[in-house]
A and B are shown apart, each in its own frame.
Chain A
């Protein structure tokens, strides 16, 4: 799902970064957000709606809409579309409103 060639932009070779998604190890690239790394791995479903549990992906990708909220390193309601991917991050699907304490 990565863009290989582009007439205007150059995507230089970037370092591969391991992280886990629901316990499985995946790889993103340096400069990715959590959401872009998941999308590059073909994962579009990021969360579920609070009441009807309908599948949710991101919508705005710039931190406005909260449709991409996930549990990252144990912290719920993390806006994954604007959260930089870090090595060995633990990313989990979120169901419900998320519990902090």
Chain B
């Protein structure tokens, strides 16, 4: 058994900012991540971020990753990084079971921050399991991390920001995107992203969905159809499109398995992406000293994840009994920052989700 003070599971944007908050206060931090390199999904984000200056707006995700990692370098004496390590069990007495290669070991923590991120959702349609039907983020990984093309002609299902941004990134890699489908009557991502890909000649079809993928191994095309007011496919509106890759970009679901294992209360809140932990304003779960932040606490985006990580880090400081009064002011400021990031029509959904969660918590 390894004894640790603060353990952070997941070294993405929220895990890394949580680490910095604890390290600057003089706490020994153990950072566990299952990947080879740290940074979570920032590693494949070649686009420039929106959000606020203090969360590195206008910089590319890949560069933000480097900034967040560099921030930890001065504290390397008090930081243990366990990469290529998967947490396979989490227990109420804050024992963390880990697997690194074929080696199994346990870590006992005083406080735990769970920043495990999210997984991509799919939608039901015939043949949605064929090779060549990929999550949009998977295609981003394949292209931007490994330099491999997913195919030559792509159909993008979903017009949220991920769908729009990945469309642009596919084009940057020299791949043709034949169409973007959106089941809703309106494009769901930012207009600035949508306009960009439209200007480059990619049509966005609203009130349209995929009925069936064609081919066997791999995909050779798709049947599209129009949707009526009740989101049902309209018979007779079917048409065929020839593609070798179908990208699914229909949202994310928080990875809450570890939170469920440790017995933290988890409830379904649609606006936050599915099952999410019930947390208080300090991002503490219903288990004392166990925090959740970033996409694991509710789907949003990287800028707010970075702020949430800091709040969770400050909460963990309090668990360890070393929080100062100035930390309270810090938390208030960070909440203001979150409020600003969630302002505007695109943040309304998340805000509604937070309202629901507050009611459930009380």
Q: Could you tell me which A residues sit within 8 Å of B by CB distance? A: 1-9, 11, 29, 31-33, 36, 39-40, 44-46, 49, 54-65, 81-82, 84
Contacts and interface: CB of A to CB of B under 8 A. Distances in A.
26 contacts: A3-B143, A6-B172, A6-B173, A7-B172, A8-B60, A9-B144, A31-B146, A32-B146, A36-B146, A39-B142, A39-B148, A40-B146, A44-B131, A44-B217, A49-B129, A54-B129, A57-B132, A57-B133, A59-B120, A60-B120, A60-B138, A61-B134, A61-B139, A61-B142, A63-B35, A65-B119
Given A1-B149, A3-B149, A60 B174 contact: no
Contacts of A44: 131-132, 217-218
A4 B174 contact: yes
Contacts, number: 99
Given A39-B142, A40-B148, A8 B137 contact: no
Nearest to B255: A64
Range of interface residues on B (Cβ < 8 Å)? 35 or more
Nearest to B216: A55
Contacts of A59: 120, 122, 133-135, 138
Contacts of A84: 36
A31 B145 CA distance: 9
A75 B130 CA distance: 24
B138 A62 contact: yes
Contacts of B146: 31-33, 36, 40
B34 A82 contact: yes
Interface of B: 34-36, 41, 46, 60, 119-120, 122, 129-135, 137-139, 141-150, 172-174, 216-218, 255
A57 B36 contact: no
Contact of B141 (A2, A8, A46, A61): A61
A5 B135 contact: no
B129 to A, nearest CB: 6
A3 B148 contact: yes
